[in-house]
Each structure stands twice: as structure tokens, then as C-alpha cells.
Amino acid sequence: MSTSLPDSQRVVVTGIGAIHGLGHNADAFWSSLKAGTPGIDRVSQFDPEPFACQIGAEVRDWDVTQHMDPKEARRNDRYTHFGYVASQQAVTDSGLQMDQENPDEIGVLVGSGIGGMQTYEQQLRRLVEFGPRKVSPFTIPALIGNICSGMVAIHYGARGPNFGVVSACATATHAIGEAMHMIRRGDARVMIAGGAEASITPFAYASFCSMKAMSTRNDDPPTASRPFSLGRDGFVMGEGAGVLVLEAFDRAKARGARIYGEVAAYAATADAHHITMPDPEGKGLGMAMSRALRGAELAPGDIDYVNAHGTSTPYNDKFETLAIKRLFGDHAAQMPVSSTKSMTGHLLGAAGGIESVACLKAIDDQVLPPTINLIEPDPECDLDYVPNEAREAKVDAVLSNNLGFGGQNAAVVFRRV
């Protein structure tokens, strides 16, 4: 697969990091995905009994102080803990010796769709119960959505581009795509990019349950997230982080770095339709996918696999399927499409990060992760969703989709170098 870009403007992935209940690093996470392991169980971080949805994909047996100074850990929210550690994993995996790099050429773009929700709830409770003087002075820094990027930059002394991307469930894909453009423009030579989220909290659950957006299949958590399946009844919340190290191709080659794949293109569009429901004709997503393919100089038939947004909500799965069929035409019938959310739950702003890790691992391993819990497909969802078991396949070019409340769409193309 050739490209017209010079090597200095091509952007490749040289490091990956992942934190999830299915694995506290990228290799463990990927092994669970290949095995078709469900990561969803009854919520343990609070008493879920009063809530319509009582299940989630939690990160358990987690001690952030093994990776972060305990004082700093107390001053930061759980979402930052996830993003901070996943960033460290990605940098270590990349082989970069950060103390020998030019810090002015290194940037960080680790976004969050919601930010420090746990901090918000804890400190609001303190305000109500004990008064304003008992609210922590670290409240605002801990809950804002850009602080994870700031903490990663402080840790590495990275003085390049640094801010927080916020676009609901499209956040991490937007972060990765914008980081790619920063390298292409010459704003940075290395970018640490992805997403982190920790919204398994009472207020978040109450809010999403009020919208009737979450699954209430509480009696059987492992099967609750069932994208494209008849009888799906909503998404299941997940938490964690997925972070990539992006690097100019010429730079990565010169230092002999391991390359997982190229960020070949990215596109962002809006539905301009509704605050929560996707466009019923999939116009915005279709345009994002089309522009991403054009940017990658690929035809629809060149894509070997699509990692779908696939939330397990009635509308999203149907409309995304329609958008894929319209863009890919005859190729759609033979092109594998799967939703790893069937195992991971929906990580909101971190979804695109953790799913990008899955895409790059699929290229590396030549294995497609499955859509589990697909027993009775919805007749309106009639593609090859890699049902229930992983599959060995040729995987040279993949497309990953993410959609966010507000009608925000993001599509990114990864390909083998």
C-alpha cells in the first residue's frame, strides 16, 4: 500500500498502552479480546441496587500507587490514573528514552469525554455535608478534562502541544487523529495520544439510566452488551484508558523502532441532527469514513476490517450498519466488522483509544476480535460481525469508527507498514 506522503509526514504507532478490566496492559487486554472474554459484571464501586442498570466493566484489583506517587494519586481523579499509567506503558513500549529526547518536540493529547466524575461527586458531597471549607483545593485540577494530558507532560517534561480533547464518545479517536495532524504539520515529532475515562459512579449511572440508554440485563452481566443482536437494550459502561505513541515515520525508522502500523488518515464530521440520536441515514458517519479512506488513498475494497462503534443500543447499531453498507457497497457483504464493546463495555471518551489498541493488535497478530453475544442477529444488522469467536485473517488496513453525543463522528484508518 503506497502513499504519496514523504516519510517525514507519515505518522506511525510505535507504542501502545491499555488499562481495562480485561487486562492492565495491552498484551493482557488483547489476549482477553482474542479469547472472547466478557469483561462485564455487577458494579462493585458503589451499591448499584437502586439503579436500573447495575452492571459495568470495571477495572478491578487496581493499585495506582504502584505506578504513581501516592501523594499525586490522591490529588488526581481515577480517570487521570488510568490515562497516566496507560501513557507510561505506551512510552515504555515505544522504546523512547525520554530523558534523551528534545522535550519541545513531544506533545500529549489524552482526552476524556467526562473527566473527573468521581472527584465531582465526592467533593459535592463534602460541600453539602460539611460546608465549603471542607472542599479540597485540588478539586478543580482533578476534575477538568485536560489534566491527564497535563500530568503526563509534567512526568516527561514534554513541552509540545498539550490540551484535552472533549467530544463525548468520539474523544479518543479525535485525539489520535489531531495528534497525527500535529506531526504532519511539524508541530511535534512525537505525540502521546488517546483517551481515559472513569464514569462508573452513582451520578453518571443515574443520569444515563434516566435517559434509558443503559442495559438493564442485570441478571446476566456477561451477555448484556450484545451489539447488532436482536433484543439489545442499551450500552454497558466501561472504564479505563487506551493510549498510543505516534511518531514521524522517518524518525521511527532512523531509531529502529518497532512499528505497529501507520495512522494513514483520520476524518471528523457532524451529524447536525440531534443531541443524542445518530442520523438515521448515517450521513455524518458515512462522510467521515469516506473522507478517511480518501485521506489514506484507499478504495473501499482495500479495507480488511472495521472496528465498529457498535454500542449495543437499538439505533446506533442499525444506523452504523446502514452507513457502512452505503459506503462500501458490494464489499460490505464480505468485509468483517466487529464491536469489541461486546466485551469491553462502552468506555465513552476512552472508547476510541482502547479500540485503536485492538485494531493495531489485529494488524500485528492478523487476528480479528469477535463480537460476542451475537446469537440472534437483528435482521437490519446483516453484515459479517465476526460472531462469537476470533478469526485469523489478512489484516492490512482497518477502519475504526466512533460517534459522540452532539452528533460528532470520527473515523481513523490504520494500516500495516
Per the annotation, the verdict on 309 as an active-site residue is yes
Q: Would you call 209 a catalytic residue per the annotation? A: no
* Cα–Cα distance, 322 to 319 (Å, whole number): 5
Beta bridge partners of 307: 338, 400
| CB within 8 Å of 50: residues ≥ 6 apart | none
Closest residue by Cα to residue 296 from 329, 244, 261: 261
232/224 Cα distance (integer angstroms): 8
pTM exceeds 0.95 for this model: yes
**What single-letter amino acid sits at 213?**
A
**Cβ contact 238:57 at 8 Å:** yes
CATH class of 11-254: alpha beta
Instruction: Transcribe 231-245 into DSSP letters.
Output: T---B-BB-EEEEEE
Bridge-based pairing of strands 305-307 and 397-404 is parallel
Burial letters 106-127, b for 16+ CB under 10 A, else e: bbbbbbbbbbbbbbbbbbeebe
Question: What pLDDT shows up at residue 1?
Answer: 54
Active-site choice (20, 53, 346, 381): 346
The separation between CA 210 and the C-alpha centre of its own chain, rounded to angstroms, equals 24
Q: How far apart are CA 4 and CA 17, in angstroms?
A: 30
Model pLDDT, residue 126: 97
* Blockwise average pLDDT, block size 10, the chain, 417 residues: 82 98 98 98 98 98 95 97 98 96 97 97 97 97 97 98 96 98 97 98 98 97 98 97 98 97 98 89 94 98 98 95 97 98 98 98 98 96 98 98 96 97
CA dihedral 240, 223, 339, 177 (to 10 degrees): -20
For the record, the C-alpha cell of 223 comes out as: 451477555
What are phi and psi for residue 409, nearest 5 degrees? -120, 145
Tell me how long the chain is.
Answer: 417
Same fold, 11-254 and 265-415: yes
Which is catalytic among the residues 53, 309, 359, 381? 309
Q: What is the CATH number of domain 265-415?
A: 3.40.47.10
The grid coordinates of residue 355 equal: 479500540
3-state secondary structure of 123: helix
Q: Parallel, antiparallel, or unpaired: how do β-strands 261-270 and 408-415 relate?
A: antiparallel
Kindly name the residue from 53, 169, 359, 381 that is annotated as catalytic. Answer: 169
Domain coordinates of the chain in residue numbers? 11-254, 265-415
**Cβ–Cβ < 8 Å for 57, 354:** no
Neighbours of 217 (CB within 10 A): 23
SS3 131: coil
Chain mean position to CA 107: 19
- Count the neighbouring beta carbons within 10 Å of the beta carbon of residue 132: 7
